[in-house]
Structure 1
Amino acid sequence: MRKFLLLFLLLNASQLCVANTSNPDATTSTSEHVEMSVVSDATEEVHHHAPAWTVIPFVMLLLMIATGPLFYEHFWHKNYPIVACVLASIVVLYYLFALHNHHGPVHALAEYVQFIALLSGLFIASGGIMIEVDKEAKPMTNVMILLIGAVIANIIGTTGASMLLIRPFIRLNKNRIKPYHIIFFIFMVSNIGGSLTPIGDPPLFLGFLKGVPFFWTLQHNLIPWVFASLILGAVFFLIDKRNKTDLSFGEDTGTPTNKITFTGTKNFAWLAVIVGAVFLDPNVLEWVPAITYEGQKFSFVREIIMLSCGFLSFKFADKRALDGNEFNFEPIREVAFIFIGIFGTMMPALELVGNFAQSDTGAAMITPNTLYWGTGLLSGFLDNAPTYINFLTAAMASQGASISNLSQVVDFAGGGSAFVNSVLSLKAISVAAVFFGSMTYIGNGPNFMVKSIAEQVGIKMPSFFGYILRFSIPILLPLFLLVWLVFFYWGLL
């Protein structure tokens, strides 16, 4: 792993100027990424390539996300929308007017719109559903909620499950809530939970759209999912068992009735429509209207449905549920602006990753082991969906296949005779992209939303670095190392 990372950094430093114009993205086809890196295009010119300094705004944004709430909290909370938009504008304007590269910004914009439409719809619709769990907040009760959330994440996505369960989870533990409750919720429900179906997490859905069979993830990711979920559940249980009642978040409400009640159940219908709309992809269903750019179809009907459902679910929501959830738009507002900055500034970073992975040196290093650690570590700091596509593209290209060829993707996922260790490679990419998304607040969309909701009710969440140093490194890294050893290095299961 050290060799992989060292070569990655050295080659990036020396080969920055050989980046191609494509920006592999999380929600649209990345076939151009392979084709444009292998086939000469008459319209592609050398001035399209992003220079080294264009990575600086992305690094600055990450550093400000990490340090802002800790060292200059008032300035950050007041000005983070401006900071994110300005840094994104620097990169986007340079691409458009200096590099004359419209391809990257257009794809980044389409990717962002699809990303925020899904998150907004699920956030608003779930905000109108109030779940009250009138039970004693015992460690085992909490573990069961986390495990149930991990299952539900595969049905309505990690975002839907997170938004549906985070508030009742906080209310249940109102007399003893601690930051670790929220962190483990992010680990188990917002990330690792969604490993079993393409609906569960955006990277897996992109793989499905490219040709990976729908039940492939259930077949190949089930045992790692059970393995990681049970270990995290056990660790949480041991930590939670030591937690004594703290009345700082409310008074004791008496003997619990052990009842679970739902308010605003009609919003489940809106959630169902939003989840169903996910499949309205014009690249799969030719009858779905689309915006065509450079031969690529971009969805808009799906996004209109999602945003409309969000609006209507709020307009006709049960007011008791909204009030009970203390619903407001600040969490999704924060995510919207922060990820404008991330999607706008990470184009050069993804470009560098893609070029290294598909270079001769990078391709020679592509194995299930390096794919696991490469995809995983970058998924923690870049959005995990484009990272998944980037490494799948590189893995297939290293064996002479194209992600734009549906039959080749199917053969690659099925372990066709033309490929070497392709099933294990795809499994490494899939598991790592989903699991490692929990390493930071920005690894996956729901992470930031859960953090914001927790802070809204007064829970003092750790900083960006605090999250990594106190939880990710001591808890997740040993777990991910164990997953790698058991499932990929030793191949025991």
Structure 2
Amino acid sequence: MSVFRWLGAVALLSLWPGLSFAASMDGSQLSVLWGVPFAGLLLSIALLPLLTPSFWHHHFGKVSAAWSLAFLLPFALIYGPGMAAFSFMHALLEEYIPFILLLTALFTVAGGIHIRGNLHGSPGLNTAILGVGAVLASFMGTTGASMLLIRPLIRANDNRAHKAHVVVFFIFIVSNAGGSLTPLGDPPLFLGFLKGVDFFWTVSHIFPETLFLIGSLLAIFYALDAWFYHRREELMPLDPTPDTRRIGFDGAANFWLLAAVAGLVLLSGIWKSAVVFNIAGTDVGLPGLVRDAGLVAITLLSLNITAAKVHADNQFSWGPMLEVAKLFAGIFLTIVPVIAMLKAGTSGPFGAVVSSVTRPDGTPDPAMYFWATGMLSSFLDNAPTYLVFFNTAGGDAQAMMTTFASTLAAISAGAVFMGANTYIGNAPNLMVKAIAEERDVKMPSFFGYMLWSGGVLIPLFIIMTFIWFK
């Protein structure tokens, strides 16, 4: 049974009469055992591709569905079908559907832009692409920048023996760190914008940290890539029919559609409307519906106006998108009780984590906020993690931007930067990995990737802590 079939089947629970009486989940009353399905799904993503790659390749959607049902069915038995249906529909309507529609639009539109020309993956060119991607990520989102540049980057390095490190650093820089300067860059910052944080506050307060991190990563990457590049066996024979055209863009009309996607996302955050539709116990606002309908229209328009040759040149396929859709369906559902337990604060099962960010005198500890937000964002959805610690620190945007500016900077940096620590820390990570593997790039395993992030990123985060968050 496909993941979409079980999503539809469980959605029938929304017809249960008791649904209208369902209340928000009280995380303080939950046992940590409710986090087992989420942990099981994460371990499945980490271990099964390594232990049974053939099984995982053919059945990862079923694995995601199984862990989702491992949470949902016992929850329905204990708390009633109404509460289970409410939790399911809330995750589906308020989080998963907007998330997957945005990713699908960006994936489709960026996949309709082909950067043509004779690109050769030298250390200088690769570093330049990563630098350009870092700049673009804060204006078109980490997902948009990643989908635009990952294909030409992989194509430029087709004749390189070692290229996995190129994709790993691409995830570090373009898919994560580059989105740290504006609310358009990464979902946590957009949520802060919705809570009242000024649009340009982030760029004015964590620009030095961002410059240090991206500058350091680019320097490390250039040194490593140059070392590989100058090894005798590194360069393989070139394609006998290389693309000799001048560097340029095919499908350039899709750039306007990328701008439209960014505009829709920004509009949905700025536009306030009293019109709200209650769907199966979940309130869905008019701005969100307009945004989602617009994203669907943009996706269809891009498919209609993009020439088949552009998709062929990009080797465009739906495989990576389907993988992300199926895995994140399970992640978004099984994460529900984990986020509820975190939101319970000091009275919840994770009270020790929440308490650790406060000094003995009651003032917030920026260093602990940086690491607590970052570590949880590495494995949980970084957007709700940002909100949990934003509210733990007081939740008043004006106070956070002034009196507690260092704390807000720490929360923002932790949520965005440390999403690069794992493949599941940020949605583009997994999508970039899937695209690379589809192009026969042998990517590190889940834990292999964490060795890269542990060896490269964690030392930089420690340095940043002593300079900016002590």
TM category, shorter: 0.7 to 0.9
Between 144-153 and 99-108, the greater mean CA deviation after superposition: 99-108
Question: Closer, same or farther in 2 for the Cα pair 1:94/1:290, shift >3 Å?
Answer: farther
Between 232-241 and 86-95, the greater mean CA deviation after superposition: 86-95
Question: Closer, same or farther in 2 for the Cα pair 1:264/1:254, shift >3 Å?
Answer: closer
State the Cα distance separating 1:370 from its structure 2 match: 1.1
Find 2:228's aligned residue among 243, 261, 264: 243
Distance in 2 of aligned mates of 1:297 and 1:45 = 18
Is 2:67 aligned against 1:87? Answer: yes
One-letter identity of the residue aligned with 2:152: P
Between 86-95 and 73-82, the greater mean CA deviation after superposition: 86-95
- Once the two structures are superposed, what CA deviation does each residue of 1:282-311 show, in whole Å capped at 9, x if it has no partner? x74234854347795442221121122112
The answer (yes or no) to whether the contact 2:121–2:153 under 8 Å persists in 1 is: no
Question: Closer, same or farther in 2 for the Cα pair 1:138/1:55, shift >3 Å?
Answer: same
State the Cα distance separating 1:45 from its structure 2 match: 9.0
Corresponding residue of 1:6: none
**Structure 1: 5+ residue runs without aligned partners?**
1-40, 397-402, 416-421
Is 2:165 aligned against 1:180? Answer: yes
One-letter identity of the residue aligned with 1:444: N
SS at match of 2:30: coil
Please show how residues 261-300 of structure 1 align to structure 2 within 5 Å.
Answer: 261-281=248-268, 284-287=270-273, 290-292=276-278, 296-298=283-285, 299-300=288-289
Give the TM-score, by structure 1 length. Answer: 0.81
Distance in 1 of aligned mates of 2:180 and 2:237 = 33
Between 346-355 and 55-64, the greater mean CA deviation after superposition: 346-355
State the Cα distance separating 1:280 from its structure 2 match: 3.4
State the Cα distance separating 1:241 from its structure 2 match: 0.5
State the Cα distance separating 1:151 from its structure 2 match: 0.3
Distance in 1 of aligned mates of 2:337 and 2:237 = 44
State the Cα distance separating 1:242 from its structure 2 match: 1.0
Find 1:56's aligned residue among 36, 39, 56: 36
- Once the two structures are superposed, what CA deviation does each residue of 1:140-176 show, in whole Å capped at 9, x if it has no partner? 2211110110000011100000000001111112111
The answer (yes or no) to whether the contact 1:451–1:461 under 8 Å persists in 2 is: yes
Find 2:371's aligned residue among 367, 373, 378: 373
Question: Closer, same or farther in 2 for the Cα pair 1:42/1:114, shift >3 Å?
Answer: closer
Between 100-109 and 330-339, the greater mean CA deviation after superposition: 100-109
The answer (yes or no) to whether the contact 1:47–1:99 under 8 Å persists in 2 is: no
Please show how residues 110-149 of structure 1 align to structure 2 within 5 Å.
Answer: 110-149=94-133
The answer (yes or no) to whether the contact 2:118–2:242 under 8 Å persists in 1 is: no
One-letter identity of the residue aligned with 1:231: S
The answer (yes or no) to whether the contact 2:197–2:397 under 8 Å persists in 1 is: yes
The answer (yes or no) to whether the contact 1:376–1:432 under 8 Å persists in 2 is: yes
- Once the two structures are superposed, what CA deviation does each residue of 1:269-292 show, in whole Å capped at 9, x if it has no partner? 2211111110232x7423485434
State the Cα distance separating 1:42 from its structure 2 match: 12
Find 2:327's aligned residue among 311, 327, 338: 338
Find 1:411's aligned residue among 399, 406, 414: 399
Question: Closer, same or farther in 2 for the Cα pair 1:411/1:249, shift >3 Å?
Answer: farther
SS at match of 1:291: strand
SS at match of 1:280: helix
Between 163-172 and 90-99, the greater mean CA deviation after superposition: 90-99
Corresponding residue of 2:203: 218
Give the TM-score, by structure 2 length. Answer: 0.85
Corresponding residue of 1:387: 385
The answer (yes or no) to whether the contact 1:384–1:444 under 8 Å persists in 2 is: yes
Alignment identity in percent? 40
One-letter identity of the residue aligned with 1:84: S
Distance in 2 of aligned mates of 1:284 and 1:344 = 28
Find 2:434's aligned residue among 452, 457, 472: 452
SS at match of 1:286: coil
The answer (yes or no) to whether the contact 1:194–1:200 under 8 Å persists in 2 is: yes
Alpha-carbon RMSD across the aligned residues, in angstroms, is 2.6
Is 2:338 aligned against 1:349? Answer: yes
Between 116-125 and 101-110, the greater mean CA deviation after superposition: 101-110
One-letter identity of the residue aligned with 2:90: H
- Once the two structures are superposed, what CA deviation does each residue of 1:111-148 show, in whole Å capped at 9, x if it has no partner? 11111111110001110100125344321221111011
Corresponding residue of 1:227: 212
Corresponding residue of 2:49: 69
State the Cα distance separating 1:475 from its structure 2 match: 0.5
Distance in 2 of aligned mates of 1:424 and 1:350 = 25
Find 1:481's aligned residue among 444, 462, 469: 462
State the Cα distance separating 1:194 from its structure 2 match: 0.4
SS at match of 2:247: strand
SS at match of 2:469: helix
SS at match of 1:230: helix
The answer (yes or no) to whether the contact 1:380–1:440 under 8 Å persists in 2 is: yes
Distance in 2 of aligned mates of 1:69 and 1:460 = 12
One-letter identity of the residue aligned with 2:376: L
One-letter identity of the residue aligned with 1:204: L
SS at match of 1:208: helix
SS at match of 2:379: coil
One-letter identity of the residue aligned with 2:101: A
Question: Closer, same or farther in 2 for the Cα pair 1:123/1:42, shift >3 Å?
Answer: closer
SS at match of 2:125: helix
Distance in 1 of aligned mates of 2:156 and 2:22 = 61
Corresponding residue of 1:106: 89
State the Cα distance separating 1:317 from its structure 2 match: 0.8
One-letter identity of the residue aligned with 2:144: G
The answer (yes or no) to whether the contact 1:121–1:274 under 8 Å persists in 2 is: yes
Distance in 1 of aligned mates of 2:199 and 2:234 = 45
Please show how residues 130-169 of structure 1 align to structure 2 within 5 Å.
Answer: 130-169=114-153
